[in-house]
Amino acid sequence: MNSSKRMPVLFIGHGSPMNALEDNACTRVWENLGLSLPRPKAILAISAHWLTDGTAVTAMSKPKTIHDFGGFPQALFDMRYPAPGDPDLAARIAELLTPFTDAPVQLDQDWGLDHGSWSVLAKIYPDASIPVLQLSLDMRLSAAAHFALGQRLSALRDEGVLIIASGNVVHNLRQLDMRSTGYDWAHRFNDAIREAILAGQFEQVIDYTAFGADATLAVPTSEHFLPLLYVLGARIEAEPIQIFCDQIELGSISMLSLMLGEG
């Protein structure tokens, strides 16, 4: 596949699982992505909600829809995203990553697609006809190591694979406030990460804890931040960066999203 057909790579601030059902400014952007992006051969999703010791990739032919949440309307639990899997692509991903992990990448037959993946994909590709695989987050790895795995995955972009990572740059559920348009610390951290990304200073994003108290509040645990590093790692040369859905919700959730490459 030549460079003119290279797939872009996306980071989506996924926010609440209710976005799968709701119509709002961000979900309309997601829907438009599905209409404007080149149609991929397959999708590799990297979600904040599959945390493992070691790296794993879903390798079943029919991944299940996982409802990994509670306290939401029954309509959300009734949703299914019946996309097929792609065992051959799973083996290809394991081949790419295993030389850079401390153990072979697991070809997983148990997980499926969690809401960090399907709540977004249900808007972008509602027909669920494109094969989807999900890559886990090895929580033993450093931020720099997650970025390095993203660099390895960039080869898939020339093989028709769309990489979509989902999480949130700011994600502090203990500080949620329905009345707030965003705490000062949430805006400062979100602004700092956005500016570092646009300046191509990805080392600042990798070393996000250097932002001090703002980082401690914005990223109390790392799992929602780490998917962003895979996307930045997958950048090829000086590709354009497009920011969208750049807003703070509920005081302490950043919806900042971005696309690298040409859509």
Q: Torsion-angle region of residue 237: left (phi > 0), alpha (psi -120 to 50) or beta? A: left
Q: Considering the entire predicted model, what is its pTM?
A: 0.95
What is the number of structural domains in the chain?
A: 1
Least confident range of 99-108, 123-132, 222-231, 251-260 = 99-108
DSSP-based three-state secondary structure for 257: strand
Q: Count CA within 13 A, CB hemisphere, residue 12.
A: 31
pLDDT of 1 above 70: no
Residues 225-232: what's their mean pLDDT?
A: 98
Q: Which pairing describes strands 161-167 and 257-260: parallel, antiparallel, or unpaired?
A: unpaired
In Å, what is the CA distance from 123 to each residue of 26, 64, 87, 145, 174?
Answer: 10, 18, 24, 31, 28
Q: What is the pLDDT of residue 5?
A: 82
pLDDT of residue 3: 40
Residue that the structure tokens 């020339």 belong to: 158
Q: CATH code at 113?
A: 3.40.830.10
For the cut 80, the answer to whether the pLDDT of residue 4 exceeds it is: no
Q: Provide the percentage of residues in the chain whose pLDDT is more than 90.
A: 92
Which tens digits make up the pLDDT trace of 58-85? 999 999 999 998 889 999 999 999 999 9
Burial code of 100-118, b = ≥16 C-beta within 10 A, e = fewer? ebeeebbebeebbbbbbbb
- Token pair 């348009």 is found at 181
What integer best gives the mean pLDDT of the chain? Answer: 95
- pLDDT tens-digit profile of 19-51? 999 999 999 999 999 999 999 999 999 999 999
**Structural domain harbouring 245:** 3-260
Q: Taking residues 118-124, what's their average pLDDT?
A: 97
Beta bridge partners of residue 163, listed in sequence order: 9, 44
Q: How many CB atoms lie within 10 A of CB 187?
A: 16
- What's the CA gap between 206 and 113, in Å, rounded? 26
**Does residue 12 register a pLDDT over 80?**
yes
| Per-residue model confidence (pLDDT) at position 97 | 96
